[in-house]
Structures are given as C-alpha cells and as structure tokens.
Amino acid sequence: MKLSISIAQNVPASAPFILRGPYLDNIKKAAELGYDAVEIHVRDPRELEVEQILKVCQKERITVSTLGTGLGYVEDKLSLTHPNAQIREKAAKRILDHIEVASYLGAGVIVGSMRGVIPDTGRFKEYENYAGEGLAVCLQKAQKCGVVLFLEAINRYETNFLNTAADTLNFITRFNSPYLKIHLDTFHMNIEEVDLAGAIKSTGRALGHIHFADSNRFYPGQGHLDFKKIIATLKNIGYKGYIALECLPYPAPEEAAAGAIKYLKSLLEEN
C-alpha cells in the first residue's frame, strides 16, 4: 500500500487538508517528506495547471492518487441530490470535469459531499434516485476515460445519506461497475461503525480508496484508533489502493505531514 497526502490551495483552517498553498509547492513538499502521492482537493479542476503538475510529479517521482470534489459542495453548494434539477446537472458537470482532468493525471475521483443530503426523508427514494441518475452519467464518462470513482461513506453529522460501509456497498451494487468503488474514512467510520475492521472486511474487493485520520481527526497516532489492526485488515483483504491522509493540519501542516508518515511507515513495516 502506498501513502498519499491531501493538498489544497485556498481552504479554511478548519478543513481536513494537511498541506496548504500552491499545488506545485505542495507536491514538491510531499515528495520531500517521502509520500508516494498527493490527493488534490480543488473546487473546479479546470483551474489546475495540469501540464505543470505532471511535469513536477515526474521530476519528483510522485503521483496524483485522487482528486477530491467536495469543495464544489462546500463552496458552490452543488450536489447530486439537490431539489433543483439545474443544480443537480451542474453538480454532475463538475464531477465530469474532475473525471476529465483525472484521466490526464492518472488519478481516481472521490465523490463525497457532492453526492448531497436527503432534504426530505419522506421522499428518500426519490432523492436517492437523483443521486443514482447523476452517478450513472458520471460513470459513463469515467468508463470512457478509464477513471475510477470512489463513493465515500460519510458520518451522520455531515449527511443523512450513505453513512456506513454497508449503506454504500448496497448502493453501488445497483451499478455493477468496476469504475465505481467504495471509499472509507477512518474518522467517519469511528462515528458510524460498530467494528472498523469488520466494516473493512465487509467491503472486500469493492473497497477502492481509504482516508486515514485519527478519532479526533488529527493525524494517525494522535487519537485512540487502532491503526495497526486497520492496516492488518486492509492487507488481509488484499487492498492494493492508496492510504490517503485527510486530517486536520495540527499542530502545523508540515509537522502533521511528517508525523503521519513516520507513524504509518512504522506500522506498515511491522505488518
């Protein structure tokens, strides 16, 4: 398993992205710290200097694991379950843009917050179908571009839709597509899952991406989660994807980035 670190340019201090500032600088910094890849979080992927990113990645011998789409929800309020059809279409279009850029970068695309919430639980199936329709459109593009989408299970305090590994696994089975995988996050799992290792095992080959953050959303080793057991479970199911660090940048971005990789490499060597 390879290690990736979240990077973002203009985001609030409270956002769970570790390295902040110009993307090219952060790619170099991640490489210097020993990471195998970066996870780029960007509101609109058309803003990225793709050729420059590829050039720096090649020079620094690092890759782009994934593109995060969540800032499109946070900043532009775009989602696949929005009551307004035009906004749902804009959300799908934004994800399509991510897919196109990801195809050039050799990356996957995370669909987390952009899937939206269910605004009226009395009409749950209707809104669930909206999300399904939007994802189906995105999957057509993903398959054409050879890009895998990762649908993230997110805790109940952020959404009321697809909170657990079981929820997400059940939802993606309707698509039966190798281009749609489950994305888990240990911070969200600590809230929603009774047994983190059991939830990981249940996803099996459907698991495509995982975020690591400790129970307090600080970098791994700063809370109470048993990452040794989590890593052993990932190895047991034959997980070959990235472990991506999506944590709060505390006590400072570079300190968190350095502390996380040191801790996780020690665990990876043990298992």
Q: Could you tell me which residues are beta bridge partners of residue 151?
A: 111, 182
- Residue in 257, 269, 256 with CA at minimum distance from that of residue 227: 269
185 contacts 217 by C-beta, under 8 angstroms: no
94 contacts 114 by C-beta, under 8 angstroms: yes
246 classed as catalytic? yes
DSSP line for 90-147? HHHHHHHHHHHHHHHHT-EEEESGGG---S-GGGHHHHHHHHHHHHHHHHHHHHHHT-
269 classed as catalytic? no
The helix/strand count (H/E) of the chain reads as 10, 9
Catalytic residue among 39, 128, 152, 193: 152
Catalytic residue among 246, 255, 269, 270: 246
Residues that are catalytic = 152, 246
